[in-house]
Amino acid sequence: MNKKVFVHLTRNWHQGNPYIRGTLFDDAKKLPPLEAQKHIRSLKTRNAIQQFLKTANGFFSIVNINGNSGWMTVDRIRSLPLFYGLHEGKLFISDDARWIRDQVKDTEIDSVAREEFLSTGYVTGPDTLFPSIKQIQAGEVVFFEVGNNEEIAIHPQRYFQYYPSDFLDEPKETLFRRFETTLDRVFQRLIDYAEGRTLVVPLSGGYDSRLIAVMLKRLEYDKILAFSYGKPGNTEAQISKFVAEKLNINWIFIPYTNELWHDWYLSPEMKAYFEYADGLSSLPHIQDWPAVLQLKAQELVPENSVFVPGHTPVLAIQIKKLEALWGKKKCPDCFFEILRQAHYNLVPSSYELLKARNSRYLHKFPMNTKEEVLGVSDLWAWTERQSKFIGNSVRSYEFFGYDWWMPFWDVEFTELYEKVPYKHRLDKKLYKEYVDQLFTNIAENPFEKPQGSANTWNSAKKKFYYTAKRILPERIKRCLRKKRELRSYKNHPMGWYGIHDESYVREQIKSGYSTINSLIAKDYIDDFNNQ
């Protein structure tokens, strides 16, 4: 290895050159590590490397060193993050951002990155909270080489960007058949990866995790376990239990309370998890963490289980914002307003900062139609929020030693959903109808509703809130959200406002930290400031 390039990898890497972490599929075939390494070594040009990455499936990171040059990459969704930094003519590469921080001697948080982190919960683009530490973006490969002058040149290139376009002009029934054949292959890859291990589904009340459970039953995989969590009797858990019962899947409930959250949040284990998961760029995802803690402590799942979360490219929040904004804002202001309302909302932030951090999107894509604005918004959400916050939630499984797989971020499903027309993506219409139809075909007595007064399926109250969100001015909605959060300390279904005492939480909410993630982001930055 060149003395100017230093690699420090700590998390289950296949050793040798190239270093590989995770699993690669070549179409339907899972590549053993040695075969994957041999194939990667055969790639002699940058073009060949990019062509390989464009078709590679699975979840992986790769570091390849070849004399005075090399490259490093993450998969399309940055599921296994990599970081790098330059200092005094040396390049440092690691899966541990803190190690790089020590090498490059970065001690001060960048003020712009700090403001963005407090507003979103992550740092956008290739940046982190510390200016000399960079992260490889979703669908990016970073080439590097040591020149004759001993200077190291860095060349990041994107081999994939999620941008819905080239829409399929087909009847709904034809699209359903495409979904069926694609999902069968996607879930067969999951089953091949699992190799007979127990698949653990975090089963919520939503459509994504329900589709996972339905598909596994459809393909007759019998080692399935579902779990839910929160305060006893919460609606999400009721629906989760109902779905599990109808599909004849074993179901576990992990209770949350304010008091338990207080202990969990202040525990040494949570502190260690934050340092494991944050990459100095992303707010660690805490929702599943206590449930996985309890599942492990009580030995409720086998040690070699594979967790299967329902994260998908079926994004809804941007399209709802776009429908409300279209005609009121001109492009590209419409795009920036979607970002402000949907993502830069943990605390009020500078509109100038939002535009400055995201102006690069203006020069790459047209934004003259609804479809174009939504395409760029989905690209942004995929690259930033989905990869750095939602997808990063799998660290909670890794932290406790479990494996994971995200079937809806399989390359084949992603490429299909990119082509679903706007009219079908609005309110997830096509997707929901497909899941309902599949659930009806697979489940036992599917039309029976879950019991209990907390059931909100198709309730008048839910419809009222949905209507109010569409018609009320944003100023009034912000006020109502703050009032709702002030009432949430004791009655929130997750119980997680118990991380601090009630008076502190109410004080912070009044100051603008109006959601659980905004409170945690503030704690996170305050901890750095107090070091």
Q: Are residues 297 and 429 in the same domain?
A: yes
For the chain, the domain total comes to 4
Mean pLDDT of 140-144: 98
pLDDT-derived band at 363, boundaries 50, 70, 90: confident
At residue 117, the pLDDT reads 97
Q: Let me know: does 83 contact 95? Beta carbons within 8 Å.
A: yes
Q: What pLDDT was estimated at residue 470?
A: 57
E strand spans, 81-202: 83-87, 90-94, 134-135, 140-146, 152-158, 199-202
CB atoms within 10 A of CB 42: 9
The predicted model gives 2-7 an average pLDDT of 85
Assess whether pLDDT exceeds 70 at residue 142: yes
Question: pLDDT confidence of 512, banded at 50, 70, 90?
Answer: confident
Over range 348-355, report the average pLDDT. 89
Please, are residues 56 and 75 in contact by the beta-carbon 8 Å criterion? yes
Instruction: Point out the domain boundary residue: 158, 180, 199.
Output: 158
pLDDT of residue 464: 45
Q: Are residues 276 and 403 in the same domain?
A: yes
Q: Are residues 180 and 102 part of one domain?
A: no
Residue 460 lies in a domain: no
202 near 427, Cβ under 8 Å?
Answer: no
Query: Which residues constitute the domain of residue 112?
Result: 5-158
pLDDT of res. 189: 95
The pLDDT, as a whole number, for residue 147 is 83
Does residue 461 have a pLDDT over 50?
Answer: no
What pLDDT is attached to residue 457?
41
List beta partners, residue 85: 92
User: pLDDT confidence of 455, banded at 50, 70, 90?
Assistant: very low
Assess whether pLDDT exceeds 80 at residue 152: yes
**DSSP for 372-400, written as a single string:** HHHHHHHHHHIIIIIIIIIGGGGHHHHHT
Q: Residue 121 sits in a domain of what CATH number?
A: 3.60.20.10
425's tokens: 């993506």
Residues 174 and 232 in one domain: yes
Parallel/antiparallel/unpaired status of strands 306-307 and 199-202: parallel
CATH at residue 428? 3.40.50.620
Residue 238: the pLDDT is 95
C-beta separation of 254 from 291 below 8 A: yes
Closest CA to 222 of 241, 198, 195: 198
Query: Where a domain ends, among 128, 158, 188?
Result: 158
Residue 472 has pLDDT above 60, yes or no: no
Determine the pLDDT at residue 491.
86
CB atoms within 10 A of CB 327: 8
Q: Please compute the mean of the pLDDT values over residues 374-396 and round it to a whole number.
A: 96
Q: What are the backbone angles phi and psi of residue 58, rounded to the nearest 5°? A: 105, -165
Last residue of a domain, one of 158, 182, 198: 158
Shared domain for 10 and 128, answered yes or no, is: yes
* pLDDT more than 90, % of the chain: 76
In a domain, 387, yes or no: no
Weakest-pLDDT range from 136-140, 308-312, 461-465: 461-465
Q: pTM here?
A: 0.92
Burial tier of 334 (Cβ tally within 10 Å: 0-12, 13-18, 19+): buried
Which is more confident, 467 or 450? 450
- For residue 239, CA distances in Å to 408, 450, 455 come to 21, 6, 8
Same domain, 305 and 322: no
Q: State in Å, rounded, how far the first CA of the chain is from the last one.
A: 35
Q: State the pLDDT confidence band at 475, using cuts at 50, 70 and 90.
A: low
* Beta carbons of 238 and 231 less than 8 angstroms apart: no
What's the whole-number mean pLDDT along residues 426-455?
79
Q: Edge-to-edge strand order for the sheet containing 199-202?
A: 250-255, 224-230, 199-202, 306-307, 403-404
For the record, the structure tokens of 334 come out as 């419409």
